Structure 1
Amino acid sequence: MASVQFLSAIFLCLICLNSLLLCFNLSYSSFLRHSGEIGRQNCLDARSENKSIKVKRCSTCEREKIIFLGAVIKIVDDDDILQCECTIVNDFWAVTTTSCIDLIEEDFNLFHITSGSLKWQTGNKHFIRRIFSHENGLIKESISLIKVHNPFVIYPEQLIILQREWSNINSNSIQLYGWSHYRSLDSDFSMISNEKCRLTYEKFHGNVSLLNTFDDDVFCMNFCQYHIGNPLVDNGFLIGLSSNLNVECADNFLPGKYLKISYYYDWIVNTMNIN
């Protein structure tokens, strides 16, 4: 009889413990939802030692950056190599730079695009169907488009809106995206004239003339990214892509050079519509 009472007591204790765990789980889930709602603002307030930028470091912010970011991957034996980056602008299309396309060989079977994951190594795979490059790419860095076989429609993949007309950049909303980092800039950033930017790069390259590479299709700023094709976003619009020179600016504190999306807007839209 005593053993029955003992077992009954243990059973009641287990029921109580299970109820407590259930209540804790519900409370914690509510806390996580609340944290997600305020996470964006909290991340925007996280500053780096360099006061000219704010650096997002939390998991909520990490999720924000993956929805339209793509990685151009080369398959080498059993390894994947990140070649450059692209940005989703349509269910079947991603935009990047000609220097990124130059890294892709004719055999598209050796390459694919990954997206929709916190890590480019584990993203959704999209296989390349066709590639189109603007005619400017024959003489200098320019815009290119990649069309894929399987569409960018797997959650959380999402396209970004292209900036149609160039306008003054909003210092409160400009953002830099990349697989290894994410930056939301402070008001200390500034535009740099193309002439000053060109002279700085020419001096760095030993006074080699770069006159035709800093025209109306590009703009420069006092910061840069580390990878080819990194998207620059202002108020939810794609306004620029980092050029191949940005690899040098990251290592040598040079101005960042960006391809101007609004300059290529008509070509991008027309190319997607007819292909």
Structure 2
Amino acid sequence: MVSKKLLLLGSALFLAALISHGEGIMGGREAVPHSRPYMASIQVQEGENLKHECGGFVIADQWVMTAVHCMPNGPNGRKVVLGAHSLSEHESTKQIFDILELYNHPDFSSLNYDNDVALIKLDRPVNISDAVATVSFLRAGGGTNPDPGAEVETAGWGSLDNLGLRPDKLKEAFIEVLSFSKCRRADYFGRKFTDNMICAHKLVQDNCGNSPRIVDSCDGDSGGPLLYNGVAVGITSNGGKKCGQIKKPGIYTIISHYTEWIDSTMGVQTAAEPDQSS
């Protein structure tokens, strides 16, 4: 005869399954392996293994963009893994780097995550391949940021639900930009939401009258890209205390607001500032 303890355990597991497949699911789908070759996994040493902590994306042959709040106190031995689809499986496409330099934006605010943009200089240039490549990012004057209602996309190895379930393989999501005025409302983010931010998620309705399923980024996706028409326009930054809340969509740092700082940090010479060393 089944004991009362086992029945209670079974009920708890069933309830957890209902929760994890309801509001907690962040939506999205598994990406086609290596279809996003710019994706980076920032990993921390845990015993003899490396554990995914944050995302990032390759913007030049020795540079990865990410979020300040991923490493506010420095690299502390973290590694950058490129060319990954599965975090656990051996993949010949993977390239592992030390962090030579970390540049966190000097005006980052830990109170509201304003200016949440950072640059990692890898210890050596990447080997460009089908699985590892750069992605273009939007520069000031180089185009326009997505309007409210525009479909954008993001990817990462972040949590699938608020119970902290993490995927082994890269996930991607297609979401929609919300208006600045909505994100600035008191019942959304209020004054925490600044001109340097975009907020986005997607509500997916079913035909049964249930609450909408929310597609959103979550813990562990931080530092990854927000893309519009294949160009990185944002950096996954933060959101609510829980992921997948209707009035707490994901917040993304607007990359084009930092063109001057990015160029200065990377030592990029622009047409208006030719190299005078010769």
Given candidates 175, 184, 198, the residue that maps to 2:174 is 184
Q: Secondary structure at the residue paired with 1:135?
A: coil
Residue 194 of structure 1, CA deviation:
4.9
Shift, 1:55, TM fit: 4.5
For the pair shown, which has the larger CA radius of gyration, 1 or 2?
1
How far apart, in 2, do the equivalents of 1:231 and 1:106 lie? 20
Distance 2:196 2:152 in 1: 19
**TM-score normalised over the length of structure 1:** 0.65
1:49-88 alignment, distance < 5 Å:
55-57=28-30, 61-65=32-36, 67-88=37-58
Q: In 2, distance between residues paired with 1:73 and 1:178?
A: 13
**Counterparts of 1:100 and 1:235, CA distance in 2:** 26
CA contact (8 A) 1:216 1:263 kept: no
In structure 2, relative to structure 1, the CA distance for the partners of 1:196 and 1:117 (3 Å cut) is closer
Cα distance change, pair 240–76 in 1 and its aligned pair in 2 (3 A): same
Aligned partner of 1:128 in structure 2 is 99
- CA 167–149 in structure 1, closer or farther in 2 if over 3 Å, else same: same
CA distance in 2, matches of 1:106, 1:162: 24
| Aligned residue in 2 for 1:242 | 236
1:200 to partner: Cα distance: 2.8
Per the TM alignment, residue 178 of structure 1 is displaced from its structure 2 partner at its CA by 1.3
Alignment of 1:225 with 2:212, yes or no, is no
Give the C-alpha shift of residue 132 in structure 1: 0.6
Q: Distance in 1 between matches of 2:84 and 2:67?
A: 22
Give the residue type in structure 2 aligned to 1:258. Y
How far apart, in 2, do the equivalents of 1:261 and 1:237 lie? 11
Q: Which residue, out of 121, 125, 129, partners 1:151?
A: 125
Q: Give, in whole Å, the separation in 1 of the partners of 2:41 and 2:108.
A: 21
Counterpart of 1:169, as a letter, is P
RMSD across aligned positions (CA): 3.0
Residue 7 (structure 2) aligns with: none
User: Aligned pair in 2 of structure 1 residues 270, 125: CA closer, same or farther (>3 Å)?
Assistant: same
- Counterpart Cα distance in 2 of 1:273 and 1:73: 26
Among all aligned residue pairs of Structure 1 and Structure 2, give the percentage whose two residues are the same amino acid.
19
TM-score, with length taken from structure 2: 0.65
Q: Distance in 2 between matches of 1:106 and 1:57?
A: 29
Matched residue, 1:119: 86
C-alpha distance in structure 2 between counterparts of 1:225 and 1:233, whole Å: 13
Q: Secondary structure at the match of 1:99?
A: helix
Kindly tell me the number of residue pairs found equivalent between the two proteins. Answer: 207
Unpaired runs of at least 5, structure 1:
1-49, 203-209
Give the gaps of 5 or more residues in structure 2.
1-22, 158-169, 203-215, 270-278
Deviation at 1:268, TM superposition (A): 1.0
What is the CA distance between 1:169 and its match in structure 2?
2.1
The Cα of 1:251 is off from its aligned counterpart by 4.3
Structure 1: distance between partners of 2:139 and 2:74: 31
Counterpart of 2:48 in structure 1: which amino acid? D
Structure 1 residues 92 and 242: alpha-carbon distance in aligned structure 2, compared to 1, 3 A threshold: same
Q: Give 1:149's aligned amino acid.
A: D
The match for 2:275 is none
> Looking at both structures, which has the greater relative contact order when contacts are Cα pairs under 8 Å and sequence separation is at least 6?
2
